[in-house]
Amino acid sequence: MTAQQTGSTPPLRINSSFDSGNIRVEAIDGTTATLSIHKDHESDFFQWFHFRAAAPAGTRLTLRITGLAQSSYPDGWPGYAACVSEDRERWDRAASRYDPGVDGGTLTIDYTLVGDAAWFAYFAPYSQERHHDLVAQAAACEGVTVRQLGESLDGRPIDCLELGSGDKPVWLIARQHPGETMAEWWMEGALDMLTDPTNAHARALRAACRFYIVPNMNPDGAFRGHLRTNARGINLNREWHEPQADRAPEVLCVRNRMDETGVAFAMDVHGDEAIPAVFLAGFEGIPSIKDAQLALFRRYRDTLAIRTPDFQTRLGYPEARPGKANLSMATAQIAERYGAVAMTLEMPFKDNDDLPDTAQGWSPERSMQLARDCLATLAEMVGDI
């Protein structure tokens, strides 16, 4: 007999046994679930969550994610609203509030089911299947070469898409931190634009540059539902000075290819948990810094800020002092090693508070549009790089 036939109400059920799933069920009491987040394997980082809640349509759910004061970025929770989808295509924000003093820091999500199940995540997920679709679609475009640079620790491909007939090597890399899924949404927008035969900025860029694009630096962490590390709990963006095959083969294979191609311009795409804005971080503080190199970075940043209200220069990270750059990070290492104009792009998990969207917050769609604006800005100044 089904529940309907007996007249009893099916209980609330929570699952996360799927690609990038991450949640621990502590307790379920009626329509209230008390939850917590698993740490990245062999590390103390945690912040990414992704799970499904199933209950009859119309049920008002109360989902309490606890223990968050110990998460990697406790400042990420005040002002944050969880992402929710019932069709797994459009992601909206669910009413959420953070109480730092309750159960070690609790995010409470209130949501009334439209259908019989909803998916909740820290940000709109970008699945392994979608990654393979992205690679396949780009590979089908004229002039695009797919090159597998190596394998992750779990044996997943590290894919690099190459295109363009120019001689300036431009590298775009994303998702060193796998929970920062907005970075691969950005890549989807970038590839969509660069492979558009009618887009004038893309045509100019393809004529001037050779692009090397790594949409996902950390496929193991992405699939495992990690925030920040690979299968061994290694933060890939602290391995660039001397990447080791047994710790960070993902970085080693990419850096080896960069050694072959050289790098004129590089962007490393990330998400920031706490700051409600889009911003760039540069390479101030590298030992070999040149005035012209730094001037080009600042010109790029300032031009992008004029181009789109979804980018700004007021909020961001403090600059490294002279000689104090951290060369274990991609941007600093690439700027130092190749003399490149290199930068880290940070998009918010929350929203751009200068131009908020109460329904979706920062979103896949805005990440993709930002990629187009970033590339158009590059096209405008590529002759000087």
Which one is catalytic: 260, 346, 365, 380? 346
Q: Rule CB under 5 A: say whether 255 interacts with Zn ion.
A: no
Least distance (Å) between residue 54 CB and Zn ion: 32
| Helix-helix angle 182-194:364-381, to 10 degrees | 50
Which of 315, 382, 19, 333 lies closest to 168, judged by CA? 382
Closer by beta carbon to Zn ion, 180 or else 188: 180
Least distance (Å) between residue 108 CB and Zn ion: 26
Please give the structure tokens belonging to residue 239: 């391995």
Closer by beta carbon to Zn ion, 28 or else 274: 274
Q: What are phi and psi of 312, to 5 degrees?
A: -150, 170
Residue 361 CA: distances (Å) to CA of 199, 309, 343, 346, 370:
28, 15, 24, 15, 14
Closer by beta carbon to Zn ion, 96 or else 176: 176
Least distance (Å) between residue 180 CB and Zn ion: 5
d(CA 308, CA 182): 17
Q: What 3 state SS string does 115-154 have? A: CCEEEEECCCCCCHHHHHHHHHHHHCCCCCEEEEEEECCC
**Inter-residue contact 363 to 348 (CB < 8 Å):** no
Q: Which stretch binds Zn ion (CB under 5 A): 130-138, 176-184, 317-325, 368-376?
A: 176-184
The site string for Zn ion over 269-288 (x = CB under 5 A, - otherwise) reads: -x------------------
Q: Rule CB under 5 A: say whether 177 interacts with Zn ion.
A: yes
Q: Rule CB under 5 A: say whether 350 interacts with Zn ion.
A: no
Query: Does the annotation count 26 as an active-site position?
Result: no
Q: Which stretch binds Zn ion (CB under 5 A): 4-12, 29-37, 128-136, 174-182?
A: 174-182
Binding site for Zn ion (CB under 5 A): 177, 180, 270
| Catalytic residue set | 346
